[in-house]
Amino acid sequence: MKKLTKRQFLGGSAVVGAAATLGAPAIHAQQAIKWRFQTYAGAALGEHVTKPVIDKINEAAKGELEIELYYADQLVPTGELFRALQTGTIDAVHSDDDSMASPAEVRVFGGYFPMATRHALDVPVLFHQYGLADIWTKAYEKVGGVKWLSAAGQDPCNFNTKKEITSLADLDGLKLYTFPTAGRFLSQFGVVPVSIPYEDTEVAVQTGELDGMSWSGITEDYTVGWADVTDYFLTNNISGAWIGSFFVNEKRWADLPEHLQSVVMSAIESGHHYRNQWYWGGEAKLRATGTKLQLRSIPQNEWREVEDAADKFWQEISETGETAEKIVNIFRDYRKVINSAGIPYSFS
């Protein structure tokens, strides 16, 4: 048998390799899944409450999932977020059920449900230890088109205003930017809730359209510029923590591979952790050392009237349906536990 030279052998291998390559099907790089994501927060606030989550997803997904972040009202008004999410105009959302006009039966409890929480950690406890996560999951399954992913607490709902507030009577007639349910509750004390685009609020205070906000704690007041246009911060709050969630279009989530679903959930949980410490530390530091807002308080014996009104509000809401009754009962059970536990869980 004739021996092949090294050159002949290598040349023949190249021909075989070329033929094999030509005969094989073409392999194309998988295109990235692209999502459009809108948050309830403006750009300055979104830098802390939403962008860290999106950045972490984009980094960990390694090009398989690319999320483009939009801030408050950039694609659609906040009040239209649910509908846009359900129809697929937006792929995912960070908001509270109340602000985005969710038709789910849990809507009234999103955002700031009066006196339901005292601290940010109350929210994950209520969702993971007292059953709210299951209730939220089922509520959105019932509505269809939108999947609820996760909830967490953020800052309390205090008041920052142009006018000094030292008594309940000072609330009468105040035009405040606030959440739908919070506004509904506060109206009994003479507050006039005003609904305008988030980014317009600072100018609205300067023009007199607003007297201030009942929308956040002091960390946000400084972060978004509201401390520059208002003068006073009321230490009393109508709720100790915002209940906000991450939502996704149901089909987009079903189409997402499991390993990318894990990436999204991991990033969301990491974001929850960051916000907890950012708000908790910010609230204390800015109350103690902030120079832009003067602190004021309504005496506790007078503020008790607001707390009693919240109890009546809870009862009214509990009578609107079976799910509402179940959630209110959970809040009541949790309140009994923390009140019995004493400091630092309760106030006294």
Q: Are residues 228 and 326 in the same domain?
A: yes
Q: What is the CB-side half-sphere exposure of residue 295 using CA atoms within 13 A?
A: 15
- 9 domain residue, yes or no: no
Residue 348: the pLDDT is 59
Give the domain CATH number at 208. Answer: 3.40.190.170
Phi–psi pair at 245, nearest 5 degrees: -140, 165
Q: Are residues 51 and 86 in the same domain?
A: yes
- 11 domain residue, yes or no: no
- 249 domain residue, yes or no: yes
Q: Are residues 194 and 319 in the same domain?
A: yes
Q: Are residues 226 and 325 in the same domain?
A: yes
Q: Are residues 37 and 136 in the same domain?
A: yes
Q: Are residues 194 and 321 in the same domain?
A: yes
Interatomic CA distance for residues 35 and 245, integer angstroms: 17
Q: What angle do CA 66, 242, 331 make, to 5 degrees?
A: 125
Q: Are residues 96 and 209 in the same domain?
A: no
Q: How many domains does the chain have?
A: 2
Residue 19: the pLDDT is 40
- 140 domain residue, yes or no: yes
Q: Are residues 222 and 307 in the same domain?
A: yes
Residue 204: the pLDDT is 98
Q: Which two tokens stand for residue 26?
A: 């073409």
3-state secondary structure of 321: coil
Residue 29: the pLDDT is 53
- 19 domain residue, yes or no: no
- 100 domain residue, yes or no: yes
Q: Which residues share a beta bridge with 161?
A: 212, 232
3-state secondary structure of 152: strand
Q: Are residues 189 and 47 in the same domain?
A: no
Q: Tell me the CA distances in angstroms from 308 to 167, 185, 314, one per residue in order.
A: 16, 12, 10
Structural domain ending residue among the three candidates 258, 273, 289: 289
Q: Are residues 308 and 280 in the same domain?
A: no
- 107 domain residue, yes or no: yes
**Structural domain harbouring 271:** 33-154+242-289
3-state secondary structure of 344: coil
Residue 108 CA to its chain's centroid (Å):
15
- 316 domain residue, yes or no: yes
Rg (CA), the chain: 26
Q: Are residues 172 and 199 in the same domain?
A: yes
Interatomic CA distance for residues 225 and 39, integer angstroms: 18
Q: Are residues 277 and 306 in the same domain?
A: no
Interatomic CA distance for residues 132 and 130, integer angstroms: 6
* pTM (2 d.p.): 0.90
Series of mean pLDDT values for 10-residue runs along the chain (348 residues): 42 42 47 96 97 98 98 97 98 98 98 96 97 98 98 97 98 97 98 95 97 98 98 97 98 98 98 96 98 98 97 98 98 96 80
